[in-house]
Structures are given as structure tokens and as C-alpha cells.
Chain A
Amino acid sequence: MDALDRRIVNGLQGGFPICERPYAEAAAELGTDEATLVARLKALKAAGTLSRFGPMYHAERLGGALTLAAMAVPEDDFDRVAEIVNAFPEVAHNYAREHALNMWFVLATETPERIPDVLAAIEAATGHTVYDMPKIEEFFIGLRVEA
């Protein structure tokens, strides 16, 4: 990454305009031109520096639901349980973490009513208790990763 890439990653985490030539408008603010900005964004995506470029939607305001859930899985059963959990299409992310609660996953469903159904199905399929930890209040979702 050079200085322009850093300006793009740091400067374009929000506020991208909605107009006919948005890359041209954003490029002018970043001190470059439309073609260069489009090429840089393609390269940053291809390199995996950016996982996405575009609108970030708010799941609950689309009528959908998210929750964070955790399980305490015995080490010798961990791979089997991970395979079962990951096979649910509603499971968007799943992380192993160091704690008695050692498997943490995010569910995303089209409606709030689906969340308890999917959690119950995961409990039934794995034989382990699922602890549901939906957000009660959100304080911040980061905008500020410095490249």
C-alpha cells in the first residue's frame, strides 16, 4: 500500500456520494482522478485489504435479525460441533475463542421470529446448550480502521 491507498482506505470508510459519477467526486477529494480511484479500489479488493466497497446495510431496519450466540463445547467434540453449526446457512460467522464458552457465532435471519427456531435447532443437532446474547443496545460500530 502506498500513500494514496492509505488515503483511500482511511478516507472512504463512509460518505461515498450518491450521484452519477461518485468515483470522480470522491477522487477529487482524495487528490486523484476517477480512473485511478476505480483501479485502486479494484486492486485493494483483489488483495483482500478491503472486504467490500459499497453500502453497509442495517439488518434490523431491513426487517431481519442478528444475534450472537455461544456454546461450551468439549475439545474432543469441537470439530463435529463446528461442522454442524457451520452447516446452518443462518450462521454468518463462527469463531473459536479461549474461554469455557469456546465457540461464538453470529446468526442472521430474515425475520426476528426465526432466531429462536434456529438456536433450538442448533441445540437439538449438537446436544449442547446455546447461550443467546442478542444486543440490547449498540454503542458504536466502527468507522475508524487506520491503514
Chain B
Amino acid sequence: MTAQSRHEALDEVDRRIVVATQAGLPLVPRPYHAVAEELGLDPDTVMGRMRRMLATGVIRRIGAVPNHYALGLRANGMSVWDVADEGVAALGRQVGALDFVSHCYHRPRHLPIWPYNLFAMVHGKSRAEVADKVASIADLLGAACRGHDVLYSTRILKKSGLRLVA
């Protein structure tokens, strides 16, 4: 999936549904009905629009978003890799498929300060655990890897919920 993915045509009703649900679904027995009531819409309209947004990928998924830190995954390392651009897609798919990698992206280099073009976020209970996992990524990449680093986070300076539509 590239960053240039097409936009889905969303109308005003869709956008109101996004605004009403992006922070979460109501924890009541009929959550979609509650959203419909809040917006003055028919429940079938809300559910129909959301089914369509799910089918077209506007909604990635619906469910629980766990907090890594609260689950004891207190170390997070952004592992970054310098691989040939020609091979990055195939390697990225392999790294992204590892069960301890939560996000994996091809991003641009900024030479000379930044030679890395493949990013894989690795979570673990400790830095030692993250380092072990990074070592297994290095094994997987083998000779395709021309250099790598792990950037541990030392402080969260800001973390606000992502608000996509105001």
C-alpha cells in the first residue's frame, strides 16, 4: 500500500460519523444506534456507511487498541536499516511479517546524516529483549543489510490522540 493511495470519496455524513467515532465507540449495548442518535441519523445509515468505509479501507479495523506500555512492553526501539532500494519492498514484507514488529515502513534517506530506508518498530519488556529481536531482524536480512541502528525512546514529549478530522 503506497502513501499515494487514492482517497475514498467521503461526503459530509461520512465525515460526521468519523468525527463522532474516531475517539472510540460508545460502550453501550447498541453503540451504532447511540452514534446515530447523537448525529440525528438513522442507525442503518450509520452502520451502512461504516460497513462501506471498512470495505474500502477507510476504516482499517474496528476493535481494541492496546497500550503497549500498559501491557508491560516498556522498551520500544525504532530499528532502522540500510538496504538497497531495489530490494526494500520484498525485505519490508518479510520484516513486517515478524510478530514482534508493530509498524514497518519504507522511508527516504537523508544522506549523510541518515542512510536508513527501512524502519521497523520493535517492542519488548526490556531493552535486552528489543536487542534480541533486532538481532533476529539482522539475521533475516543477512548480507542485504548494509548498516543498521536502533533508536530507543528516552522520553515521550507529546502524545495526543490522532484526530484525523476536526
Residues of B within 8 A of A (CB): 1-3, 5-8, 10, 18, 21-25, 27-33, 43, 47, 50-51, 53-54, 56-68, 70-71, 73, 78, 88-89, 92-93, 95-97, 99, 101-108, 110, 113-114, 119, 123, 149, 151-166
Contact = CB atoms under 8 A, between A and B. Distances in A.
Contacts of A97: 78, 151-154
Residue from B23, B50, B57, B164 with most neighbouring chain A CB atoms (10 Å):
B164
B32 A18 contact: yes
Contact of A21 (B18, B30, B65): B30
A145 B110 contact: no
A35 to B, nearest CB: 8
Interface residues of A, number: 78
Interface of A: 8-9, 12-16, 18-24, 34, 38, 41-42, 44-45, 47-64, 68, 70, 72, 82, 85-86, 91-101, 103-106, 108, 110, 131-147
Contacts, number: 256
A94 B56 contact: no
27 contacts: A14-B63, A15-B62, A16-B62, A16-B63, A18-B54, A41-B27, A49-B67, A49-B70, A51-B65, A52-B23, A53-B63, A55-B25, A55-B53, A56-B62, A92-B162, A94-B156, A96-B154, A96-B155, A98-B154, A106-B162, A133-B110, A136-B2, A136-B105, A137-B2, A141-B60, A141-B103, A145-B102
